[in-house]
């Protein structure tokens, strides 16, 4: 089987690929999330994942590259990873008591043939109405920093998620069902 490379240092994405039994190596993308303007969120997610895949492809001339990018969207605004506690607080206040979308764009690329497929998956997430005390306690845990939308559904953040519609693993950072179907097109079968 061809070597599989995950273009991400995300421990969550690594754990998800391990969960479905894929053997892979990690070569984290150095591509910086630059502002790409004029794209709707699904296009943006696909484009960022493509840039991440392309950024590591030259180092792996005969491999399957998997790259992804996850963010939240509410009121047309992108909720990426907060860079400060104040930014995380503002995100949590924004999503409190509301539904938002979590979109993961992913790209699978065969570096030998050049075949590339990029997709985006959306999951709706309802967050309970949070009190200021709950927001401050969650911030104190440190978990909201470096998490898209300022929460981790697979961690303490599970306590603030009332409901989801769609792929749970998409919210964690990699839509395993859609990814598995795409990998089949590259001769990689999870099942």
Active site residues: 69
Q: d(Cα 57, Cα 50) in Å, to the nearest integer?
A: 10
List own/partner pairs for 21-25 with CB under 8 A and 24 or more apart. Answer: 21/190, 22/188, 22/190, 24/66
Q: Per-residue DSSP letters for 30-59?
A: --------S--HHHHHHHHHHHHHHHHHTT
Q: d(Cα 38, Cα 54) in Å, to the nearest integer?
A: 21
* Widest pairwise Cα distance in the chain: 54
């Amino acid at each position: 089987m061809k070597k599989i490379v995950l273009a991400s240092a995300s421990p969550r994405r690594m754990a998800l690929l391990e969960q479905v039994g894929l053997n892979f190596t990690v070569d984290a993308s150095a591509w910086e999330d630059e502002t790409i303007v004029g794209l709707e969120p699904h296009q943006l997610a696909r484009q960022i994942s493509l840039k991440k895949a392309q950024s590591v492809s030259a180092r792996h001339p005969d491999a399957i590259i998997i790259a992804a990018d996850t963010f939240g969207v509410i009121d047309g605004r992108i909720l990426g990873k907060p860079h400060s506690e104040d930014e995380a607080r503002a995100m949590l206040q924004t999503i409190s008591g509301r539904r938002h979308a979590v979109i993961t764009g992913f790209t699978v690329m065969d570096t030998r043939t050049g075949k590339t497929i990029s997709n985006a998956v959306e999951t709706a997430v309802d967050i309970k109405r949070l009190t200021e005390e709950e927001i401050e306690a969650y911030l104190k845990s440190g978990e909201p920093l470096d998490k898209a939308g300022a929460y981790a559904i697979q961690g303490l953040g599970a306590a603030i998620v009332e409901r989801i519609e769609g792929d749970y693993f998409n919210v964690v950072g990699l839509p395993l069902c859609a990814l598995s179907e795409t990998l089949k097109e590259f001769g990689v079968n999870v099942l």
